[in-house]
Amino acid sequence: MANKLASLAKDTAIYGASSIVGRFLNYLLVPLYTHVIKAQTGGYAAVTKVYAWTAFLLVILIFGMETTLLRFGNKEGEDRNRVFSTALIGVGSFSALFVLLCQIFTAPIANLLGYPTHLDYVRVMSIVVALDAFQAVMFTWLRMENRALKFVILKFYFIILNIGLNLFFVLLVPKIYTPGAGMFGWFSMENIVSYIFYVNLFCTATATFGFIPEIRYLRFGFDKALFGRMLQYSWPLLLLGIAGILNQVADKICYTWIAPGHQGEVELGLYGGAVKIAMILSMLTQAFRYAYEPLVFSANRKDADKKKFYADAMDYFVYFSLLAFLAVICYMDIIKYIVDSSYWEALPVIPIVMLAEIFMGIYFNLSFWYKLIDKTWWGAVFSFTGCAVLITMLCVLIPRYGYMGCAWAGFCGYGVCMLLSYFIGQKQNKIEYHVWKILAYFAVAMVFWYAANLMNNWNIILRLALRTILLVIWVIPFALKFLRSRKHA
């Protein structure tokens, strides 16, 4: 058990290098974007909305094949190489069809998004999302094969190149171009959002070349019967994924429909900028997922104590998620500089959005009970219920409370998913989670949050010092436990 948890911690750290550290490096782009695109212009809403749509469409194009590949690739009697090539051809074909349709119907799609004069948004990002879907299958294969080094290298290649080109086009070129003349005479600050999307396309396309060895697995062909069985397993995951991603992006997709006009664009931009800070927790969750999923599926039916492992892993996740939550709150005086000061009025949404992210992470951990017994349709039921709660609350709260309504809608939507999965899961496939310990973690974290807020009007040096002490107090029990376990090892 200790070895399993140690392996989980190690893999979380490795994948976290590309997820947490990588996204942190991408945070360098947030102050850059928000400095160039001021909140009052509403321009950042385009970046927020288009990337929300690409996240939603990516789930559809993958249609659950990441988890399905892990499941079938680890099944006895299945040819792992054949499973991979079948998944890759299936996702690749679907993605190619998607790109073709987007190029044909560019104008209607751009009108739907609210950007009829920017057809390039649709043309460029449709290719990006298709390539991302194709790469997602190959990144899953790297996780299956425990090739963490290549996984991290390719992720960092994209991140570093993306940051470099964004700095060039957003920061350097505006200072050296001459309108209508010279090498950069074509440049215009009015098209800055388009340049951001073109950079994304270039980086994604070139990163695909790093998968040439994996693309060679296409020679194992497409097994129609196998793909049918994989689809039977994955379609509930697709529904689950659609509902899950809607829980994450519905607020950004729907905001300007519920609150139309320039003010709606401004508010969406404010919200999108502030939420970038809260995404620290989604990084932690994703890193945990990359390490945890292959470990769970490979352990299925082999470890007698696997349920105890799941319970201990839940403790591990909740504890460190709340540590990240408290760290952001305690150092908000510093972290807020990630975004331009014109976005600071939206900072109150951050704690609520982060708690919603923790609920989502717990829901992810709870989800394995139905994945391991092949009843993935339960996930669709939970997620669509949570999504219905979310969208209903968005329609009710946005007109009255603006973007603060988005934060509370997400909190309630994920909370419903989490509670449904726990209570039904305990009847279907009972796992003795340490509920009282987890509730104690939350209770202490809420007390610390309240204490940190009491210091809001104090001297900043004293405030940061006392909040650091709060974090140290939070870490001490885990540190002592770790030292005791090392002593007895």
Residues 363-389: tens digit of each pLDDT: 888 877 777 676 767 877 888 898 899
Q: CB neighbours of 52 closer than 8 A, spacing ≥ 6?
A: 249, 252, 253
The answer on pLDDT for 17 being more than 70 is no
Side chain identity, residue 206: T
> What is the distance between the alpha carbons of residues 25 and 17, in angstroms, rounded to a whole number?
11
93 Cβ neighbours under 8 A, 6+ residues apart: none
| Residue with token string 């509920």 | 435
Q: Which of 98, 101, 73, 75 is CA-nearest to residue 87?
A: 73
Most confident of 123-127, 257-261, 270-274, 284-288: 123-127
CA 209 to chain centre: 24
Going through 210-305 in order, the beta strands assigned E by DSSP cover none
Q: How much is the pLDDT for 304?
A: 47
Q: Average the pLDDT over each of 127-131, 210-214, 283-287, 427-431 and give the range with the smallest value.
A: 283-287
Q: Are 287 and 19 in contact (CB under 8 A)?
A: yes
For the chain, what percentages of helix, strand and coil (3-state, to nearest 5) are there? Answer: 85, 0, 15
Tens-place pLDDT, residues 198-241: 999 999 999 999 998 888 877 778 888 888 988 888 887 787 77
pLDDT band at 485 (very low <50, low <70, confident <90, very high): low
Alpha carbons 272 and 275: distance in angstroms, whole number: 5
Query: Whole-angstrom Cα distance, residue 295 to residue 289?
Result: 10
Angle at CA 323, nearest 5°, toward 28 and 430? 120
Mean pLDDT, residues 77-97 taken together: 89
> Which pTM does this prediction carry?
0.77
Residue 286, pLDDT score: 67
C-alpha 215/C-alpha 52 separation (Å) is 28
> So what's the pLDDT on residue 102?
95
